[in-house]
Amino acid sequence: MTTVAEIIRDFLFAVGALFCVLAAVGMIRMPDLYLRMHSSTKAGTLGVGCVLAGVAVEFGSAVAFIEAGLVIGFLFLTAPIASHLIARAAYFERIPLWRSTRSEALDQTFTSGETGPPADQEPPSTARS
């Protein structure tokens, strides 16, 4: 006989696995570093969070729920920040954008007087090398 906890656990595992697969597909299909990072961070964080929630339901103890909640909270706080910092470093290293990228918000920010890449250098190319 299937219990409600088993159904919830299986659902969380399935959703988590689906999001992890979507993150992997995004890594393969996206054309540049920035889009790859975006897809893997968003889908991967949600996928791992669902899997950890499923593990907490499987064990069913208060300690498991607290530990899973702390790890999920840590992931949801650190993964987007790490992704942002990696993207910022890639921008300053002049990693090219995908050729179909329409606008570059950071380039507009730096031309408005804020500090950024040196003014004697050209902004990153939107052409893919």
Residue 32, pLDDT score: 86
Q: Which residue has the tokens 């992931």?
A: 75
Q: What is the biggest distance separating any 2 CA atoms in the chain, rounded to whole angstroms?
A: 71
Distances in Å between the alpha carbon of 73 and those of 38, 43, 46, 49? 19, 15, 11, 9
Domain 4-111 carries which CATH code?
1.10.287
Indicate yes or no: pTM above 0.85: no
> In degrees rounded to 5, what are phi and psi of residue 60?
70, 5
Distances (CA, A) of 30 to 82, 97, 107: 19, 11, 22
**Structural domain spans, the chain:** 4-111
What is the per-residue pLDDT for 104? 62
pLDDT means per 10 residues, the chain with 129 residues, are 90 97 92 87 93 95 95 94 90 79 60 52 52
Helical H segments across 30-61, by residue range: 33-59
Q: What pLDDT, on the 0 to 100 scale, is given for residue 55? A: 96
